[in-house]
Amino acid sequence: MHQKTHAALKVAYCLVLLNMVFPFGLAQSGWVSLAMGGFGGASFISMLAFLALGLYRIYLVARVPDVLDSNAAPGFEATLINIGKVLLYVGSIVAVLSWVAGPLMHAFVQRRTESGVEYFVVGMYLAMAGGIGKLGLFLFEFGRLRAFERTVASAS
């Protein structure tokens, strides 16, 4: 049996990928990124390759209707896929919040501190929560891979 992917999951998947390949928003800015270990470890070439692969995957999800579909698999694989879906939805909310947190903070915070620590704290929490979407992406794709492997193994 073939499981179709809903449009909402495709949107959440693309939002999580966009958040991964484009490091912008309050959670990836300046001091927050440095405090979380950003701006280091990866070469410029690997960052460009990751950007290209991420954009290509977003293009595929947007243009090819069945790219996120999977074979139905009972048990462990279905659990991985379902947990991954929930985490993708949560991760997409975190991604959007990260992008709009700066303007929202300007709108709601009436009196700023001199150091701007409130922006740093919100950015830190959003950066920590940003891993939820990445974990969801991993679990969803790993569950789909295991479902495909199970289908191939049972056909042999």
Rounded Cα distance between 1 and 138, Å, is: 23
Residue 143 pLDDT: 93
Residue carrying structure tokens 């070439």: 45
Strand partners, 3: 70
Which among 27, 146, 153 has a CA at the least distance from the CA of 79?
146
As a whole number, mean pLDDT of residues 59-80 equals 88
Residue 106 pLDDT: 74
Residue 28 pLDDT: 56
Is residue 25 scored above 60 in pLDDT?
Answer: no
Give the helix ranges, DSSP H, for the chain. 7-21, 30-35, 44-63, 76-108, 117-129, 131-155
Q: What angle do CA 92, 89, 24 make, to 5 degrees?
A: 10
Q: Convert the pLDDT of each residue in 77-116 to its tens digit.
A: 999 999 999 999 999 999 888 888 877 877 777 777 777 7
Rounded percentage of the chain residues whose pLDDT exceeds 70: 84
Phi and psi at 109, nearest 5°, equal -85, 110
Who has greater pLDDT, 139 or 119? 139
> Residue 151, Cα to own-chain centre: how many angstroms?
27
Distances (CA, A) of 153 to 11, 76, 145, 146: 31, 16, 12, 10
**Would you say the C-alpha torsion 143, 147, 152, 153 has a positive or negative sign?**
positive
